[in-house]
Structure 1
Amino acid sequence: MKIAQIAPLAECCPPKLYGGTERIVSYLTEELVRQGHDVTLFASGDSQTAAHLVPCSAMALRLDPTIEDRLPYYVMMLDKVRQRAHEFDVLHFHIDLMHYPLFREMKNRIVTTLHGRLNLPDLQPFYEFFSELPLVSISNDQRQPMPPVNWAATVLHGLPSDLLMPMKKPRNDYLAFLGRICPEKRPDRAIEIAMATGMPLKIAAKVDPADEEYWQSYLKPLVDSAPNIEFVGEINEQQKSDFLGHAQALLFPIDWPEPFGLVMIEAMACGTPVIAFKCGSVPEVIDEGVTGFIVSNVQEAADAVRKTVNFDRARVRATFEKRFTVERMAKDYLDIYRNLVSQPDTFVDEISLSAEIIDLREAG
């Protein structure tokens, strides 16, 4: 198939540091190429891919200090996609909603994966207005706030099997928090859990400008005052196997409707169990007692930490290989693509019908 992947421009594909959506777009793109499909990736110019790359900004917008407004770059990218849309069997968008008016008439050749939270009030009238366009959710829970729309499927994320590997002799001497410093990710809960268990906690996370005040005024003082807490900062892909693989458990103490939670399956790939709060997608990702524990409060989390001392890490890895590989993710998306292109092109049919009506009127 000829497939276009349209990625966000905030990070490159794959991201050099933090970045969930662009990472998934990259894994999917490379797997589709590996399987022999003709893939074009619309992304930042510093992306690395085996697909045909169409640069839509010089570099990842988040890392370019000269960028003040990201919108113009997305408009230019969409114009490039629009000009070349006729070349593709399927156009797969990962940029939320900006493309809808431009590609509405191509609804049988486009699909959009929604990677973010959907419980924001301004999204409801939008998706009601464009309710016919096919959407993919990344968990079933993510769908809960939405009005009736055209769900094509739920596709859980997947990773390349050889990307992150278990440690042969994991140290199991600390707890890990990996992700982003922000109130909804609740790194403060991770600190509470570590204090309750007496275990060291390593926090590998980025601090966005929007969360700088939260970090400086609230979280950093907690980190500085606790001798068993270490703030590592952002880490790259090559550092994750070591960081996650040597941890006794990953703490995922979220307090928001998490659409998926990529870090959970990254930990599983390393054979590391996950202790996660029951929010959003967590029950769909964690197999209770197999890949980790689902908890409701700090005390339950602390008790779960103690249960992970002799956890079967080989079973965690085996569950990852069964449920969360990029091969499975690509298969799910290919099923969606093939179903799309098998449908009649209703836009063309409507044009043809209009022409016939005009012909009849003129003949009459």
Structure 2
Amino acid sequence: MRILIVNKSLIPVTLYGGTERVIWYLGKELSKLGHKITYLVKNGSTCDFGTIIPIDDTKDIIEQIPDNVDIVHFNFSPPNIDQIKKPYIVTMHGNANTTNELNINTVFVSKNHANRFGSESYVYNGLDWEDYTKPNLTTKRDSFHFLGKAAWRLKNVQGAIDVIKGTKAERLKVLGGTRLNISMGFRFTTSPRVTFYGMIGGTKKDAILNKSKGLIFPVKWHEPFGLALTESLYYGAPVFGTPYGSLPELITEEVGFLSNKKADLVNAVSNVSSFSKKTCHDYAVENFNSKKMALSYLDKYETILSNQKINLKSPQLIAPLKNKFLDWY
């Protein structure tokens, strides 16, 4: 099959870039399975297992789709998508809080994500764990971590800091933010038990996760999926987060604890030794790998190529949120 993957981004990614990481590993796995991969992405992208077509920002994205592909996999919904002459699907990676109808061929990234839009169509994000540093599940763990765009108040890095400060002596390493953040209302954290690492990736990030006792992830929105969850679990770090979005679906009681109450998370974090690093690692490897993701998307491609639609009707958000932030006590 000749597959075109489209996204307005640069690949490969070295630091933060959830969608970019997912589409890279998707294409890589599909290539291993014998399919011909082409990316329509930002100029400057490179790929050793597929062809790159640089996006021309002066032209409509639909006009740039080559004739010699069998199916197009969009990772955003471009204008005039209904004018495309090729079979296509659209993966929605983020959230929306409007009741606008989405494209009928939309695929979501978790069951909760899909259900909130009246859909049953989803594919879990998968990663190529061979690209990650092999975890040492017997190494001594020295702190907890937060992983995500800390500048987003929805991610609630302040909540993660408050959980750690609620313990007797635990420490937190924040990956993805700075101690001083004026854009968040001049946030400045003075606690010596909190260390900020900014936007890091690769082996530096792996090394921190490999020495982490667990991920503190008290998000205040419906997380669509959350690569921070699966990456942390891969390194044997259980997840302590809020029961929103994909988290109740992905985080079982064997690999984490969920509550929107700080006191509950403080208590759970204090009992982190009750979780098995190996159980967390095995769970991530088995359920959230890139081959499993690729095979699931192939099923979606086959549905489209057999002249069927992904959804019976156009997905539409069932219950828009009245408040920007979900409850955190």
Q: Which range, TM-score by smaller chain?
A: 0.7 to 0.9
Match of 1:280 in 2: 245
Give, in whole Å, the separation in 1 of the partners of 2:217 and 2:308: 44
Relative to structure 2, which stretch is displaced further, 184-193 or 296-305? 296-305
- The equivalences for 1:248-259 within 5 A come to 248-259=213-224
Q: Which residue identity lines up with residue 7 of structure 2 in the other structure?
A: A
What RMSD over aligned residues (CA atoms) do the two structures have, in Å?
2.1
* TM-score, length basis structure 1: 0.78
Q: Which amino acid aligns with 2:72?
A: L
2:15 matched to which residue of 1? 17
CA deviations on 1:237-276 (whole Å, 9 max, x unpaired) are 3322211111000111100011111110011111211111
Tell me if the contact between 1:268 and 1:291 (Cα under 8 Å) persists in the aligned partners.
yes
8 A Cα contact 2:11 2:24, kept in partner: yes
1:76-91 to 2 correspondences below 5 Å: 76-81=60-65, 84=66, 86-91=67-72
Aligned length: 303
Q: Could you tell me whether the CA contact under 8 Å between 1:204 and 1:232 is conserved in 2?
A: yes
* Counterpart pick for 1:270 among 235, 253, 275: 235
The secondary structure found in structure 2 opposite 1:42 is strand
Residue matched to 2:141? 172
The gaps in structure 1 that reach 5 residues or longer are 58-71, 346-364
Q: Which moved more, 1:243-252 or 1:167-176?
A: 167-176
> Residues 167-205 of structure 1: CA distance to partner in whole angstroms, max 9, x if unpaired?
254331111001102110000001001101131111010
Q: Answer yes or no: is 1:229 the counterpart of 2:210.
A: no
Do residues 134 (structure 1) and 105 (structure 2) align? yes
Residue aligning to 2:90: 112
Shift of 1:126: 4.1
1:185 maps to 2:168 = no
The aligned residue for residue 114 of structure 2 is: 143
Matched AA of 1:125? N
Match of 1:301 among 260, 265, 275: 265
Q: What is the match of residue 348 of structure 1? A: none
Question: What is the identity percentage for the equivalent residue pairs of Structure 1 and Structure 2?
Answer: 26
Question: Which residue in the other structure is 2:127 paired with?
Answer: 159
Unaligned ranges ≥5, structure 2: 310-329
> In the superposition, relative to structure 1, how do residues 344 and 142 fare at CA in structure 2: closer, same or farther (>3 Å)?
closer
Secondary structure of the residue aligned to 1:235 is coil
Partner Cα distance (2:34, 2:261) in 1: 47
Letter in 2 for 1:334: L
Question: 1:134: Cα distance to partner?
Answer: 1.0
Paired residue type of 1:201 = L
Q: For CA contacts below 8 A with separation 6 or more, give which structure has more relative contact order.
A: 2
Moved over 6 A (4+): none
Does residue 334 of structure 1 match 2:298? yes
The question of whether the paired residues in 1 share the 8 Å contact of 2:146 and 2:172 is answered with yes
For 1:100, which of 77, 81, 98 is the aligned residue?
A: 81
CA-CA distance at 1:145 after TM superposition: 4.3
Taking the aligned partners of 1:152 and 1:141, their CA distance within structure 2 comes to: 9
Alpha-carbon shift at residue 161 of structure 1 (Å): 2.4
